[in-house]
Amino acid sequence: MIRLIAIVEKKFGLSKNGKIPWEFEEDRAFFQKLTRNSAVIMGKNTFFSHENFPLKDRINCVITKTDIPNAICFSTLEEAVKTYPDAWIIGGAQLYNYALQKNLIDEAIITQVNQEHDADTFLNTEYSKNFDRELIIKKNNYSVWKWRKRSEPQKGNQPRERYLKEANSPT
C-alpha cells in the first residue's frame, strides 16, 4: 500500500521557501509512530531540508538523478513504489502532487493545522475527489484526516466525508 503523510495549514499550504512555517511536536510524534520500520519516499530537497535525514529506523528512498550517501536513490517515483510497494511518501510538494495526479496513492494521512500560514507550496486538493475522507482525530488546534482511495471514481467534485464524533460532543 502506498501512503502519503503530510501536515498542512488551513488552506492546504505545505511550506514557505522550502521550510515548514510552524513547529508541531504532536504531529512529529505521530509521523514517527506511523513511519517507523517502513520505507519512506521523498524528493531530494526534502532529504536535504532537515538535519535528521536520513531518518532512523526507516528505509530512506530519494527521488533524484544523482547518488546520495545513506539513501536508496531512484530516478522516478514509479520505480521506487515498484521496489517498495508498501511505503510512505513524505514530501515534498512536487512529489505529493505528482503521486496524487498519477493516482499512485492508496491512502493519505493529512494533519491539518487550524491556522493560516504564509505558504508558497500547497497540496493540490483537486485530486481529493478520488478519495473518501474520514476525520480520525479532532483537537482544538488541528485535525487528522484519513483519505482512502475509491475503487470507483465519484461523479461530481466533492469527496465523501465521514466525521468521527468529538470526544466532548453531546450524543
Cell 519516499 appears where? 41
Q: Look at residue 160 in the predicted model and tell me its pLDDT.
A: 56
Domain membership flag for residue 171: no
Q: Look at residue 170 in the predicted model and tell me its pLDDT.
A: 37
Q: How many whole angstroms separate alpha carbon 25 and alpha carbon 77?
A: 29
Domain membership flag for residue 137: yes
Q: Look at residue 139 in the predicted model and tell me its pLDDT.
A: 92
pLDDT digits (tens, 9 = 90+) for 59-109: 999 999 999 988 999 999 999 999 999 999 999 999 999 999 999 999 999
Tell me which residue range forms the domain holding 34: 2-163
Q: What is the CATH number of the domain that holds 135?
A: 3.40.430.10
Domain membership flag for residue 170: no
Strand 59-63 with 39-43, pairing: parallel
3-state secondary structure of 75: coil
Domain membership flag for residue 6: yes
Q: How many whole angstroms separate alpha carbon 100 and alpha carbon 94?
A: 10
Domain membership flag for residue 159: yes
* 61: nearest Cα among 90, 41, 32: 41
| Amino acid residing at 47 | F
Domain membership flag for residue 132: yes
Domain membership flag for residue 22: yes
* 127: nearest Cα among 142, 112, 150: 150
Task: Provide the domain count of the chain.
Answer: 1
| Ranges of the chain with pLDDT below 70 | 152-171
Q: At 93, which helix (H) or strand (E)? A: helix 93-101
Q: Which residues of 86-124 are buried (b: 16+ CB within 10 A; e: fewer)?
A: ebbbbbbbebbbbbbeeebbeebbbbbbeeebebebbbe
Say what the pTM is.
Answer: 0.85
